[in-house]
Each structure stands twice: as structure tokens, then as C-alpha cells.
Amino acid sequence: MVDRPAANRGGKRWWYLLLVVPFIALLWVPFYNSIQPELAGIPFFYWYQFLWVIIGAALTAVVYFATK
């Protein structure tokens, strides 16, 4: 593996903070423990979590490419 300059590697470390976001969004249940706003009859509690599957995967992908 090619050694990267230390400063560069230091700058890239910040990207890893993105990985913390899903933990906050999903483990603080009061954020989404509600019926409203509904989306096509689906309570917030459900569509919020489905949405986070996609956001979570996207964040991981961003970190993957940014730190590659």
C-alpha cells in the first residue's frame, strides 16, 4: 500500500464521523415514535426507518469512496 502524506490521512479521518449519524438518528427513538406525518397512509415510525436504510447505506458508500 502506498503511504499517504500524514496531513492527507488526517483530513480523511473526519469522513468517518458520518458513520455515527445513523446511530443518533435511530437509537434516539423519541425522534420517530409517532404516527404523524403519515406518508400514503404509512405512519411516520415506519417510513422514517425504511428511509434510513437507504440513507445509512448511502452514508457508508460516501465514507468508502472518500477514504479509499
Contact set with another protein (CB under 8 A): 1, 16, 19-20, 22-23, 26-30, 33-35, 40-43, 45-46, 49-50, 52-54, 56-61, 63-64
In angstroms, what is the minimal distance from the CB of 65 to another protein? 9
CA dihedral 51, 54, 58, 64 (to 10 degrees): 130
Which is closer to another protein, CB of 12 or CB of 26? 26
Which is closer to another protein, CB of 10 or CB of 60? 60
Dihedrals phi, psi of 32, to nearest 5 degrees: -130, 10
How far is it, in rounded angstroms, from Cα 11 to Cα 23?
Answer: 23
